[in-house]
A and B are shown apart, each in its own frame.
Chain A
């Protein structure tokens, strides 16, 4: 049975993604910092689906460990899904450089560090899939979260280029742009229900889109329309707006 590697496995979305892939017959490597805290999830997935689940210690910002980490997997994964994300509070990130740096490192630098390694391997093997969970926030910088958004914008651009490069070798790359999602991160925000997805909806959407070999996924799908509109507001107007 094939293994899927999930990077940043502690998030609510990752947890559901893991369950969906296991339900559909994949084994899992769950990579995260302090991975022993994922014992319960491992156990949960094993009972639900009988999949083999291995917990892997992984720090997305310890770039120099990534190569060794990837080599240490006992079986090469058929797919890699990067779910890691760090959303600093915008005002905190404006004031404290360390918050900004962390945002960039987790959402952008770290993701590239591991995916470069994966991409080289998959390209050589001429198979595999890569899924990167970016964000609608990367589609246009807004004052409410442009530091996070700019890191995600970089990540989205990277994924787009990667898809272009790997097309030849038959490796698929899916960019995921969730809108609002009900997670630990957003628990205390007032989110409009109709625009907000649950982590399990997002996970199902990701699985289906990846299996179909799609390129870009907005979830919920209404976000494609919303971002289309937002992207097309002329800058001279946009700069005066609060959205």
Chain B
């Protein structure tokens, strides 16, 4: 059996070893030339792919819970969804969660993921009190914020070792419901103004219509919200819909994307409206459809996510949205988010500014288009999110991540570069 990532591209043969205990892992490390840890395969590109894969989801015990302070210790293969299943009803939620709950704690640390609240809470590493990791010499180390190993590993894409367990602090909630406000804007300028107006509300995200043209470019639905204080804490994952097979490739031409965007946008009321949403609807709308990645057909897809420093976000986004709109290669989803200051981690993605994420079906001409978008990103001092990436060049990567040489040096010094590698790490030479 071969493992693939969320984008279903590339597909390569791999040998899998399942993580069950530290002793077995130590032997595996000793006997395996090079490999990459794999969580739940929700990264889109080739971050978790190599010929040898360490499958970590089998390592998933909860180890301790400090009810007083809401601190959970668990093994790295635990899914965020399992944490919610256990703790929402007891009044706890994740401090930081990405747009899917189907990722492992190890994957959350390795990509230093962020959620709709980056502008108020920062990345996942902010809630990691401590973690343990097995290094290239099979030694187990425990580390905290301030340790170099911590800052190299959070965002380090599995390239510093195998995260074994983590102590993460949860957030107290009084309700499993979110009071949401939706703001419909008509263009990019309005979108930016709306983000600024609502920036004190902890959760925000905007869905952009990327096929809009001219003065309509950047029109969006901005959804902001926070946990309610009333309502109950009942939480049960809904039965998922599932897409049982890959859609034929004609199913997602730009016409159907247009229709989709239009329906979504048109459905929302003009101006500002209020809703009440459950956790799954607000945080994880895409998880409702299992395997939604199959709608792009068997050739796979990728997500292009970049971030631009705040001072250049407006003109940069305008330039990029125009290029995308001109290319006619639409995206099913385009998500715009606001970020606060970057952290000290060597390879974490966020910086103060705005990021946009778009899905593209893999097809002829796509990578050329993305290369031209890269130029704009680089020009404005931005960067590409590694956990979504499958094609970025070494040069573009290096320009976006000024601490990459420190990371390289750290890997060399601890002989990590000879043990942990992915297709991506080979491509960008880290």
Identify the A interface with B (CB < 8 A).
Answer: 12, 23, 40-41, 43-44, 47-49, 182, 184, 187, 190-193, 196
Contact segment of B62-70, B110-118, B186-194: B62-70
Q: Are B1 and A44 in contact (CB under 8 A)?
A: no
Q: Is the CB of A196 within 8 A of B61?
A: no
CB < 8 Å A-B pair total: 30
Complex contact A48–B1 (CB within 8 A): no
Chosen A-B contacts, 12 in total, with CB atoms closer than 8 Å, are A23-B85, A43-B61, A43-B63, A44-B62, A47-B65, A48-B82, A48-B86, A49-B86, A184-B20, A190-B1, A192-B1, A193-B1
The answer for the CA separation of A41 and B61 in the assembled complex, in Å, is 7
Contacts A40-B61, A190-B1; A47 near B18 (Cβ below 8 A): no
* Minimum distance in angstroms from A193 CB to a CB of chain B: 6
Q: Tell whether, in the assembled complex, residue B64 and residue A47 are in contact, meaning their CB atoms are under 8 Å apart.
A: yes
What total of chain B residues lie within 8 Å of the partner, measured CB to CB? 13
Asked if B62 and A47 sit within 8 Å, CB to CB, the answer is yes
Q: Which residues of A contact B82 (CB under 8 A)?
A: 48
Q: List the interface of chain B (C-beta within 8 A of A).
A: 1, 16, 18, 20, 58, 61-65, 82, 85-86
A48 partner residues in chain B, CB cutoff 8 A: 62, 82, 85-86
Tell me, in angstroms, the Cα distance from A97 to B81 when the chains sit together: 46
Interchain CA distance A196-B3 in the complex, whole Å: 13
Q: Which residues from B are CB-within-8-Å of A192?
A: 1
CA distance A40 to B82 in the complex (A): 17
B contact residues around A193 at 8 Å (CB): 1
Decide: B86 and A47 in contact? CB cutoff 8 A. yes
Shortest distance in angstroms between B389's beta carbon and chain A's nearest beta carbon? Answer: 24
Partner of A191, one of B1, B18, B65, B86: B1
Residue of A44, A187, A196 touching B18 (CB-CB under 8 A): A187
Complex interface: chain B residues within 8 A of A12 (CB): 58
When the two chains form their complex, are residues A44 and B61 in contact, meaning their CB atoms are under 8 A apart? yes
CB distance from B129 to the nearest CB of A (A): 17
Q: What 10 pairs between A and B have smallest CB-CB spacing?
A: A47-B62, A44-B61, A48-B86, A44-B62, A47-B65, A40-B61, A191-B1, A48-B62, A193-B1, A187-B18
Instruction: Give chain B nearest CB distance to A24 CB in angstroms.
Output: 10
Given contacts A47-B65, A184-B20, 14 further A-B contacts (CB under 8 A): A12-B58, A23-B85, A40-B61, A41-B61, A43-B61, A43-B62, A43-B63, A44-B62, A44-B63, A47-B86, A48-B62, A48-B85, A48-B86, A196-B1
Residues of A close to B61: CB separation below 8 A: 40-41, 43-44
Nearest CB in chain A: distance from B13 CB, A? 10
Q: Distance (Å) between the CB of A201 and the closest chain B CB?
A: 11
Per the bound structure, the CA–CA distance linking A196 and B18 in Å amounts to 16
Docked Cα-Cα span, A191 to B82, in Å, equals 26
Which of A48, A190, A196 gathers the greatest number of chain B CB atoms within 10 Å? A48
How far does the Cβ of A98 sit from chain B's closest Cβ, in whole Å? 27
Q: Output the nearest chain A residue to B79 by Cβ-Cβ distance.
A: A200
Least Cβ–Cβ distance between B73 and chain A, in angstroms: 9
List chain A residues, Cβ under 8 A from B62. 43-44, 47-48
Residues in A whose Cβ lies below 8 Å from that of B20: 184
Q: How far is the CA of A48 from the CA of B86 in the complex (A)?
A: 5
B16 to chain A, nearest CB (A): 8
Give min CB distance, A23 to chain B, whole Å. 6
Min CB distance A38 to B, Å, is 11
- Complex Cα distance, B85 from A48, in Å, reads 8
